[in-house]
Structure 1
C-alpha cells in the first residue's frame, strides 16, 4: 500500500498546532503573499519558522501555498520568498501559475512542487504534461469521478492528492470572476467575497423595483451556494483509484472545526490502514463531523453522476451545527484536579459540556465550579472573551482539548 497522508489546513500558527496534535500527517499554509486565502490570518516569517519547527518535531510535513495567478508585480519578490522557504525547510510548495512554477524550477529546482487544484487538472494528458514540467504531485480538480482518477493513476506515475472534506466552489476548480466583477475583490488573488453565497432575486427589465424569488420562497434563494463535500465513507474507493493524499479544506475555519474534522478523518484513515478489507464506516465519525458548522453534505462528483449530488442548495445559505465550541484547555493540574480553560464562548456553572481531546474518546463533564484563572475568585460564569478560568474535573484532560456544548 502507498503511504497515505491526511493533509489539513493551517490558517495561522494556532491552527497549525491544532491540526498537528489532532492527527494530520501534513499541513498546508500560506504566507502573507502569494496565497489564495487573503482572508485567513496567514503566516509572517517568524510564525512560519515556528510552525515548521513545531510540525517537524512531530514528524508532520509542511506545504506552503504559492497558488495565486500572478500578475507582473507579484513576481518581483518571488525569488527572495522562495529562498526563505527553502531555508525554512518547507517540504513542498503548492502552485498553479506556469510562470511561478517555471521560476521555482529555475531558482530552487530541489523544492518539491505540488500542482494546485486551481490548475484544474481533469485528465491524464494534463497530468503527464505537468510531470514532465517537474511537478511531483497533482492536486486533482474536485470535478473528477473515481473512474477518472483511476485512469489518471493507471497512465501516469505521480502522487495524486484529492479533496475529501470541506467547502466547495460553484465554479470550475475555483476559477471564478463573480467576486471580482461585483466587488472588485479578486478570487484568483485570494480575496473572494463569496458572491455565490449571497441571496438573489429575479428582476424583470420593465418592472424595476419588483423582485421575485427564483423559487417559491419569500426569503429569496441561494441558487449558487454549494453544499459541503464529505467523502469519509469513500476512503477505500479513493485509495483504490490512486489517491494517496487526502486533503481537508478550511484555512479560514475555526480551531474547533479543524480539530473535530481532522480527528474524525484520522480515525477513519487509520481504520482503513489497519484493516483495508474490513473497513466500514463508524457512526461516531459521522456524528462528529455534523457537530461543526457546515452546509448540507454531499459526495460531490466522485460517484460519477456529473455532480448532480453536488448541485447548489437553493434553500441554504447559513450553516448548521450540533455543538458550540466554548473553551480551549490550556493545562491540567493533577494536584488540584482542575483544568485551566481559555473561554471562547459563554458558559457557566451548571452546564454539561463535552470534552474533545486530541486522542481517545470524548467525555462529558458537569461544570460544578469555576474560578478566575488569575485571582482564584469563585465565579458562576465566564463572561469575558478569552477569559482564563479553572474547572474541576474527575479525570485527566489533555492540553489543547476542547470544551463544547451540545445543541
Structure 2
C-alpha cells in the first residue's frame, strides 16, 4: 500500500498489483481483499487506475476459485486485469466485463498475435520486452485499434522474460510464478572434474564470455522515440523494489513525458543522473534498437547493485509551524546535509536539525541522531508534503 501511494504521489497514472492468488510475484507482499478494496478506493479518489495481475500459467486445480475472484474484482471496481493464459482470458470474459490487458508473459512480438488478442476481446497488449522500436511501429500501424503498453524501466531477464529455467533447476524456485532466485546474477567459477575444490574465475576474452548478468532496462534517453510510436502506456517494473526506487523512477519519467507533451521537448541529462541515484545494475536500452550486444551485460564480478543516494526518511505528516513527523529508514544525525525529494522540481538541500524522538507511550525526547524504524519530529524550512522523501548522498 505504501508503494502504491508513493507511486501516485510522484506522478503515476496507474499501478499494477497482485492479489494473494493468480499473480507472478510470489515473493512480493501482495494485497489481500481488504487492502485491495482500499487501494481501489484510494486510486479512484485521485482519478487514478488499478490493474490486477492474473498472469500465472495455471494448472487445472488452480482454476477452481478464479471465476469467483474475477467477479469480486469487477464488483470492487478495478480498472482491469492483466492475463497471460488463454484459459484465464476465457474465464474473465465469461464471468465479467472487465477490461483485459494481455501480459508481457504472453510474449507478443508481432502484429499478427496482437491482432488475434484484439479479435478475442483484449483491450490492451503489453508487448514483450524482446521487441524493437521498428517492430512496435509496424504493430501500431497494422493494429491501430488496440492499446499498446511497453516496459520502459526495470530488471531485464537474460532469457525470454519469465521463461528461464535456471532458478527452477538450481533452487526449486519457479520463475514462472515470480519466485525467481536470479541465479543468472550469481558469481560463477569453473571447477575441473579431477581437481575438486580448485576454483578458476570466469573471464571475458577474445573468444567470448558468460552471458547471464543483464544490465537493467532504462529508456529515459529515448523516451521521445518511444512516445513517437503512439503507444498508450509506459510500464515501470518495480513491485519488488523499495519506495525510493519506485518514486524516483516515476518522477523522472513523469517529467520527461510532460516535457514531451509540452511541444518543446528537450532531453535533460538530469533525468538519467537522478535515476542512477537509485539502486541499479547499470543500464541498457534492451531490445529497442534490435538484438542487444555484449554491452547489455555485466561481465565482471560487479553483480551487485550500485547507487549514489540513500533514502533516510519519509515525511509522514505536516504538523504546522514548519514541523513535520518523519519515519526514519536509515540512521541519521543532526548536522548532516541532506536533500528533500518532492514530486515537482529539483531536490532541496537541508541541514538536519535536532530531532524530537517519539518513544513508547507517546513520550518525546530530544536527540541528535535517529535509528531506523523510528519516528521523529523535525523542523524544516520550506513547504513539504506527506510522502516527500529525505535522502543523503552516499559519498557524504
TM category (shorter chain) comes to: over 0.9
Match of 2:54 among 66, 87, 94: 66
The corresponding residue for 1:193 is 181
Aligned to 1:333: 319
Q: Tell whether 2:80 aligns with 1:95.
A: no
8 Å CA contact 1:298, 1:309 repeated in 2: no
SS in 1 for 2:225: helix
Deviation at 1:216, TM superposition (A): 6.4
Take 2:227 and 2:330, find their aligned partners in 1: how far apart are those partners?
39
What are the Cα deviations for residues 208-254 of structure 1, in whole angstroms up to 9, with x where unaligned?
Answer: 3332222169xxx9741110111012122112223221100110100
User: Could you say which residue in structure 1 is the equivalent of 2:196?
Assistant: 208
TM-score (norm 2): 0.94
Matched, 1:400 2:387: yes
Q: How does 1:2-401 map to 2 (within 5 A)?
A: 13-108=1-96, 110-157=97-144, 158-215=146-203, 223-275=211-263, 278-304=264-290, 306-308=291-293, 311-315=296-300, 316-335=302-321, 337-373=322-358, 374-383=362-371, 385-401=372-388
Following the alignment from structure 1 to structure 2, what is the Cα–Cα distance between the partners of residues 133 and 101?
9
Name the CA distance, whole Å, in 2 between partners of 1:216 and 1:189: 33
In the TM superposition, what is the alpha-carbon distance from 1:200 to its structure 2 partner? 1.2
Aligned partner of residue 367 in structure 2, secondary structure: coil
Aligned residue pairs total: 386
Measure, in 1, the Cα distance between the counterparts of 2:253 and 2:294: 22
Q: Alpha-carbon deviations, 1:85-117, whole Å to 9, x = none? A: 001101111110111111111122x11111100
Find the aligned partners of 1:301 and 1:270 in 2 and give their Cα distance: 25
State whether residues 55 and 62 of structure 1, in contact with CA within 8 Å, keep that contact through their aligned partners in structure 2. Answer: yes
- Distance (whole Å) between structure 1 residues aligned to residue 80 and residue 246 of structure 2: 22
Partners of 1:247 and 1:24 in 2: how far apart?
10
Gaps of 5+ in 1: 1-12
Question: Could you tell me how far 1:173 is from its partner in structure 2?
Answer: 2.4
Aligned 8 A contact 2:283 2:296 in 1: no
Structure 2: distance between partners of 1:358 and 1:283: 18
SS in 2 for 1:403: strand
Deviation at 1:40, TM superposition (A): 0.8
Spell out, residue by residue over 1:353-384, the C-alpha distance to the aligned partner (whole angstroms, 9 max, x if none).
Answer: 1001123332111012111134331101112x
> TM-score by structure 1 length?
0.92
1:7 maps to what in 2?
none
Query: Over the residues paired in the alignment, what is the CA RMSD in angstroms?
Result: 1.6
Secondary structure of 1:19's partner?
Answer: helix
Q: Cα gap change, 1:402/1:289 in structure 2, threshold over 3 Å: closer, same or farther?
A: same
| Aligned equivalents of 2:210, 2:39: Cα separation in 1 | 38
Q: Displacement, 1:171?
A: 1.0
Name the CA shift for 1:309/1:126 in 2 (closer, same or farther; >3 Å).
Answer: farther
Counterpart in the other structure of 1:10: none
C-alpha distance in structure 2 between counterparts of 1:310 and 1:147, whole Å: 21
**Runs (4+) off by over 6 Å:** none
Residue in 2 that maps onto 1:9: none
Instruction: Structure 2 unaligned segments of length 5 or more: list them.
Output: none
Change (3 A) 1:310 1:16: farther
